[in-house]
Structure 1
């Protein structure tokens, strides 16, 4: 994994402005601590920070290749899991290679097949290729959006980068946020509308899209999307196909020239990935697999079961690790870990995010990085198999909004009347919800209930999942840890998308088809464990520290929060205590401590990013 940035400018000779490119690349150092490179010509410049995963000696970027009179240059962030097969196919076509890197394979594939090369790729990627002969920039992003890519059109040029901070570092990019951007943060957040970059003039290349830029003209094309059709297989074939696809994708994603581990919570998804990784390690005689889990000091003392989180992860983690024979490390965090890294997690995301849920992942990843460079994680299983509560509760299914955001009124209640009038959160959320529904690939003849489940599945895959993938990428890459997500393999997503709901779930049992597909490689009690969300600390000391910090911020009349929140209402919440909500906001239990942490991040976002209000 790596970080990329670049700048095309037709108005000036940018060779005289190397410092501007360097300024864009420098904030990406955390993504690529193992090396850097820049490439600058009269009107095109690219920069790269490298995290070595495959072929340490080869694969340096920016990488150029000449074919006849044409020269192509690439910067690339990601991993191709089928690069060996592609390499052999290209060799059979007459191409030769100077390295073993997937970067060279990707560049050569583009030279051979152009944009049609994207349909041949199995992996996670965001890359840019400059065609010197055609004076054309090509940007592309993987199908599910595991790897990030942003861009900003200029008057006669364009900027691009792996993260928002890289583009904001360019002197031509304003740090202005207008009404829409504020609504993204304070109404939809931590989700974002696909393609929206929050800052004025900043955009995200959507998953499954590519962009071509030539002499001031931008064209964006979709090369992948979900297609609805009748599921062709019976239940037995479906189980086996899921098992085969998962086994293949986990095996592919274990490819690396550096240590690989898995992140283990003791739930179905991470346990399935871990079990298949253990199997692959044994088959390849790679020795025991290392696994890592997260926990908090005094978790047992302060934990209170709820309908959404009925038990602790730790006993289940131990059960799975012992059953599979992994070498396990339990990373235990304390309140100071969360407090001291709250602003760091903001800087990693470039936006106020998921509070301590972000921060704990950042600290967790830092601990893993001491022993490994690559990890596999279980994200996306709940999205594609329908594991979240809102797939099963009638009030969520029938809600005329994003089913994870039914508590918008509670969020709005802490905002000032003036700010609510300005961003119009209810109208904005409804607008974005309707836009999402308009995209759903319908299936003719479906019942009303089946069509609604398809809608919720689409909303979850395209609006909820990207936020979790953003979080996983930013928090882990902030410490130079690459995390891969086998459940995001596009072959699996395409197949599961059309499995009938009655086959995916049975009564109170969710993700039944996945559980059945994993029979025989996990113990039955783990297979049928109820879903438990990513943990957050219930320790009252965290609430106390967040309340203390927010009190100090609100005492500062210069804080931007005074333009946003109803200070009286926030102070009332401070006097109520932790009071975890019983309905989760964005899939996590969001108590007052987490709300305060979000507001603290918002304060530092305005201050540290020098935001101008549009």
Structure 2
């Protein structure tokens, strides 16, 4: 697990080495165990290739340093991530005649490319963002893993290509235009994140999940190599017990291969069924007690620590807990924005950052439960989507817009979920409905906040293009191609790596995803709380109180803090004379949102959170509209 930064420059300068080192070292937190740098000229002398690497040593601690070049010098690689099936791939490559000097997955990646060229990425079970120079072909390969667990940002300038694991090194490159993308602002208000390939910087783009890009002779071409199995697989499992058995085998393997490590590791344990299932499976494959880490709050209704202790006690883990206080949350908030290179989408980002800093004192890697809901159908929206078509058929649009929705919107402060449901149920446009479930605000409200019309066309329509007849599978496809990579997986990478911790996510295994895609819809959402197959698989392993718990989510008492210890901070960020948002936002509308929330009239915590983070982002990166 590491941080990478590199470039293709059209003209070399004496200070290039110093620049590459300083920009790579902005990601020291991603790789505090070592660094390496490599410079090379193309054969025609037109371009300089520069690679920088920060290393967090987990596999082959003594032999896996990067940049790594092949024995014959043809290939040079910088790599952020892990290839979990590297042992099996190495055995296959040895049988083909390949030789290895190290025990690292990095060298396996190099030799896999030698053997299978660009098709190699389809064989990797792992998470990765890498850059590989092929001297014989005079081409640079950039690739990102199937689900987008690892990031890779790109910036193309005149005669220059920049790439890296985080945005900060790219925008700090001398001469890069840091202009703010105003179109991204509208997307952010609607989604609470900026969908790929866009970022808040015009010049910086995301290499999309499941893509590789080839640079050759000054031209960059991008290709999709992975489509989530839900879009390509016809459900063929008829027996529920067969489904449970298939899931158990695939999940067990997904956890087992993610325990491959030459450094100490553990698990983040929330007390929900996802992380509990991972810990239970880890214990099966571990000779020593598993280390577990949990985070919670003094406000009992927001804390799951009691549930986490139940699992820790049952499986005899070495358990550590962290209570997040408002002061420590506030102290780490700007760091979270800096590391994300964007406004922080989720309030849970900061507790994960705090937990990662604590965990890094005893382990270098943890397994986590991200992706379970998006793979197994665990959100309430997954069940609601299955009847929204009927509702819209029965309910005339005007009745919903003029009666139902206004009535629900007028409900008291604590009815936020009912309001979200009413907004989504009336939205007949698929793009806007997917946004409505977890987004910040509706199109009309976003336009009122901005004081101008906005484009609702997403920067990439792929997440909405599956064409699937099943409403559940359409929603899961969106989750796996937009909500996960651009929000939750981004959170997982940036916040854990900010604390110098690698996070591995068994539910995001491509083989497991292929197995689950074979299940009919009712095997996913047919029971109370969704994730029916997962719950059945864990029924005899985990306590009933964990298996049957409804979906809670990782909640932070931010709404209460806004009205309490953060009250002055909210007003300073959003309605003071010093706010950077003044040129972008409708001030009267914003003041009304703040007043209604602080007075307890309405719960606007989601949109206020989004706007405060936008203000922090503008201040952190010193961006003017």
Q: String of CA shifts for 1:381-426, please: whole Å, max 9, x gaps.
A: 100111111111245467432435258684678768583416x0xx
Structure 1 segments, 4+ long, off by >6 Å, are 411-416, 579-582
In structure 2, the residue matched to 1:445 is none
Q: SS of the residue aligned with 1:273?
A: helix
1:265 to 266, 270, 282: 270
Aligned length: 575
Confirm or deny: 8 A CA contact 2:81 2:128 kept in the other structure: yes
Q: Against the structure 1 CA distance between its residues 379 and 579, is the aligned structure 2 distance closer, same or farther, given a 3 Å change threshold? A: farther
In structure 2, how many angstroms separate the alpha carbons of the residues matched to 1:66 and 1:330?
46
Q: Against the structure 1 CA distance between its residues 230 and 580, is the aligned structure 2 distance closer, same or farther, given a 3 Å change threshold? A: farther
In structure 2, how many angstroms separate the alpha carbons of the residues matched to 1:407 and 1:141?
25
In structure 1, how many angstroms separate the alpha carbons of the residues matched to 2:14 and 2:85?
37
The Cα shift of 1:581 comes to 10
Matched, 1:367 2:358: yes
Confirm or deny: 8 A CA contact 2:297 2:323 kept in the other structure: yes
In structure 2, the residue matched to 1:97 is 100
In structure 1, the residue matched to 2:540 is 520
The Cα shift of 1:288 comes to 0.8
Q: SS of the residue aligned with 2:452?
A: helix
In structure 1, the residue matched to 2:552 is 532
Q: Against the structure 1 CA distance between its residues 398 and 551, is the aligned structure 2 distance closer, same or farther, given a 3 Å change threshold? A: closer
In structure 2, the residue matched to 1:214 is 216
Q: String of CA shifts for 1:432-478, please: whole Å, max 9, x gaps.
A: 6965322x164xxxxx5xx2222111111111111100001000101
The Cα shift of 1:168 comes to 0.9
Pairwise CA RMSD: 2.5
2:374 to 383, 393, 398: 383
In structure 2, the residue matched to 1:351 is 342
Q: Against the structure 1 CA distance between its residues 416 and 566, is the aligned structure 2 distance closer, same or farther, given a 3 Å change threshold? A: farther
Confirm or deny: 8 A CA contact 2:559 2:605 kept in the other structure: no
Confirm or deny: 8 A CA contact 1:27 1:166 kept in the other structure: yes
In structure 2, the residue matched to 1:293 is 294
In structure 1, how many angstroms separate the alpha carbons of the residues matched to 2:314 and 2:606?
35
In structure 2, how many angstroms separate the alpha carbons of the residues matched to 1:518 and 1:339?
38
In structure 2, how many angstroms separate the alpha carbons of the residues matched to 1:46 and 1:535?
40
In structure 1, how many angstroms separate the alpha carbons of the residues matched to 2:509 and 2:74?
32
Tell me which moved more, 354-363 or 376-385.
354-363
In structure 1, how many angstroms separate the alpha carbons of the residues matched to 2:14 and 2:510?
40
Q: SS of the residue aligned with 2:434?
A: coil
Q: SS of the residue aligned with 2:564?
A: helix
Q: SS of the residue aligned with 1:356?
A: coil
Q: Normalising by the residue count of structure 2, what TM-score does the alignment of the two structures yield?
A: 0.86
In structure 1, how many angstroms separate the alpha carbons of the residues matched to 2:476 and 2:517?
8
The Cα shift of 1:205 comes to 1.0
Confirm or deny: 8 A CA contact 1:119 1:223 kept in the other structure: yes
Tell me which moved more, 564-573 or 44-53.
564-573
Confirm or deny: 8 A CA contact 1:278 1:288 kept in the other structure: yes
Q: Normalising by the residue count of structure 1, what TM-score does the alignment of the two structures yield?
A: 0.88
In structure 2, how many angstroms separate the alpha carbons of the residues matched to 1:39 and 1:15?
14
Structure 2 unaligned spans of 5+: 42-47, 389-423
The Cα shift of 1:14 comes to 4.8
Tell me which moved more, 267-276 or 514-523.
514-523
Confirm or deny: 8 A CA contact 1:373 1:480 kept in the other structure: yes
Instruction: State how 1:325-344 maps to structure 2 within 5 Å.
Output: 325-344=316-335
Q: Against the structure 1 CA distance between its residues 507 and 517, is the aligned structure 2 distance closer, same or farther, given a 3 Å change threshold? A: closer
1:419 to 433, 450, 455: 450
Confirm or deny: 8 A CA contact 1:355 1:595 kept in the other structure: no
Confirm or deny: 8 A CA contact 1:294 1:333 kept in the other structure: yes
Q: SS of the residue aligned with 2:495?
A: helix
Q: Against the structure 1 CA distance between its residues 391 and 80, is the aligned structure 2 distance closer, same or farther, given a 3 Å change threshold? A: same
Structure 1 unaligned spans of 5+: 304-310, 443-447, 583-590
The Cα shift of 1:128 comes to 0.4
In structure 1, how many angstroms separate the alpha carbons of the residues matched to 2:293 and 2:517?
30
Q: String of CA shifts for 1:567-601, please: whole Å, max 9, x gaps.
A: 3333344444558899xxxxxxxx54564443333
Tell me which moved more, 153-162 or 507-516.
507-516
Confirm or deny: 8 A CA contact 2:449 2:585 kept in the other structure: no
Q: String of CA shifts for 1:314-348, please: whole Å, max 9, x gaps.
A: 32212211122212112111110111111111011
2:583 to 563, 568, 590: 563
In structure 2, the residue matched to 1:403 is 434
Q: SS of the residue aligned with 1:95?
A: coil
The Cα shift of 1:527 comes to 1.4
Confirm or deny: 8 A CA contact 1:267 1:529 kept in the other structure: yes
Confirm or deny: 8 A CA contact 1:152 1:167 kept in the other structure: yes
The Cα shift of 1:214 comes to 0.5
Confirm or deny: 8 A CA contact 1:239 1:517 kept in the other structure: yes
The Cα shift of 1:117 comes to 1.1
Confirm or deny: 8 A CA contact 1:212 1:219 kept in the other structure: yes
In structure 1, the residue matched to 2:306 is 315
Instruction: State how 1:594-605 maps to structure 2 within 5 Å.
Output: 595-605=607-617
Q: Against the structure 1 CA distance between its residues 602 and 508, is the aligned structure 2 distance closer, same or farther, given a 3 Å change threshold? A: same
1:482 to 498, 502, 507: 502
2:160 to 157, 160, 166: 157
Matched, 1:137 2:140: yes
Q: String of CA shifts for 1:275-333, please: whole Å, max 9, x gaps.
A: 0011111xxx2x11111111112x12xx3xxxxxxx85232212211122212112111
Confirm or deny: 8 A CA contact 1:36 1:61 kept in the other structure: yes
Q: Against the structure 1 CA distance between its residues 601 and 521, is the aligned structure 2 distance closer, same or farther, given a 3 Å change threshold? A: same
Confirm or deny: 8 A CA contact 2:575 2:591 kept in the other structure: no
In structure 2, the residue matched to 1:308 is none
1:46 to 45, 51, 59: 51
Q: String of CA shifts for 1:537-564, please: whole Å, max 9, x gaps.
A: 2684554343312323456545321112
1:494 to 514, 519, 524: 514
Matched, 1:230 2:234: yes
Tell me which moved more, 534-543 or 172-181.
534-543
Tell me which moved more, 56-65 or 551-560.
551-560
